[in-house]
Amino acid sequence: MQLLLDLHPDAYPLESWRRTQLLEWVYVQGVGTFDGMSNLPAELRAELTEQYHLNPFREIETLRSADGSVKYLFTLQDGRQMEAVYMPYLDRKTVCVSTMVGCPARCSFCATGAMGFGRNLTPGEIVGQVLAVAGGEGLAPRELRNLVFMGMGEAMLNYDHTMAAARILLHPQALGMSKRRITLSTVGIARGITRLAAEDDLGLKLAISLHAPDEETRQRIIPTGAANSIAEIMAAAREYQGVTGRRITFEYTMLRGVNDAVWQAELLADLLRGLVSHVNLIPMNPWDGSGFQSTSEADIQSFYDTLEARGVDVSVRRSRGKDAGAACGQLALKRPGAVSGNSADGMGAAL
């Protein structure tokens, strides 16, 4: 039986007006069963139920943070598990979604990397996270307007499925998101960055997780980093900006005594010269067994000041959801036995 969410909205096998009704139920109303779609004929509902299913998940569990963030643990229909994070702000509601079970990049400071790689998620399993989070938070699906592909996995290594999911997110009859409010994060897959530049109909924002400006340090903390040198990553970034004209964000996790020296800040500034970019300095979020500590506040400030003095647009990003294991680099920490909060079979309360 096929997951209906895997299909692009234009590919739903129905006449246009019936397709519009079905899309309204799924992506606007957030209804997760065909039986609940009251304006579809009973015969059509039975036919859809026989051929398709709407729920990518066997079980959903949540862990809520004191800051309002919520980590969602999804058990997929094949029993594998992955996570997403809901982050409410005063002016927006953001969901951070995964593109894989685990991650093959193996960044040594990231808990997800320590899991290893399970499998790629399908487009519907990616989009389904948004629907499930909306349902779990009592929201209509279209109330979630900001999305980041920054959860588990390397989106560029599941490129086709991630792009298919993005097209569903953006489709006016599906979730109708704005391309200016979707960010794709990559550890630096140069060929993926180049491909993304050519996706004229998407216009997604790009974030590159660089984490070090020199090859020796980068390959130490990102064992797979040798496959894409810093020079190759920066060349792809410049090509992307040349084609799209969009600003690029560079993510930089601050690791004490590893990548936080002033000379490394100076080298980073040199790398970014001529690019329209922004650097997010991210204090490392602790997890047992990582072997790393976050840079001290004083050294973060020195790094920040060095970049700013060299004309780099920079900020320090304070991650949300630390107490729930939902902050950057923490996904995969608290597994089923440790997760508390709402638990439900299906897609959530409103779906």
Which residues is 76 bridged to in the sheet? 57
Give the largest Cα separation in the chain, rounded. Answer: 69
Quote the CA–CA distance of 322 and 85 in Å, as a whole number.
Answer: 11
267-300 burial code (b ≥16 CB/10 A, e <16): bbbebbeebebbbbbbbbbbbeebebebbeeebb
Using a 10 angstrom Cβ sphere, with 0-12 exposed, 13-18 middle and 19 or more buried, the burial of residue 41 is exposed
**Rounded-to-integer distance, Cα 182 and Cα 237, Å:** 18
Q: In 34-158, which residue ranges form alpha helices assigned H by DSSP?
A: 42-51, 111-115, 123-136
Beta-carbon contacts of residue 304 (< 8 Å; ≥ 6 apart): 281, 314, 316
Q: How far apart are CA 202 and CA 205, in angstroms?
A: 9
83, 125, 137, 154: the catalytic one is 83
Closest by Cα among 250, 274, 285 to 264: 250
**162 three-state secondary structure:** helix
Q: Within a 10 A sphere around the Cβ of 131, how many other Cβ atoms?
A: 27
Tokens representing 104 are 């093959």
Q: Which of 96, 103, 107, 328 is catalytic?
A: 328
Per the CB < 8 A criterion, the answer to whether 233 and 190 are in contact is: yes
Determine the Cα–Cα distance for residues 288 and 330; give it in Å rounded to an integer. Answer: 10
Residue 110 designated active-site: no
State yes or no: is 328 an active-site residue. yes
Q: Which pair of tokens denotes residue 75?
A: 């058990």
Q: How many residues does the chain have?
A: 351
| CA 36/CA 24 separation, integer angstroms | 12
Q: Which residue has the tokens 């606007």?
A: 28
Distance CA 209, CA 213 (A): 11
Q: Which residues are designated catalytic?
A: 83, 328
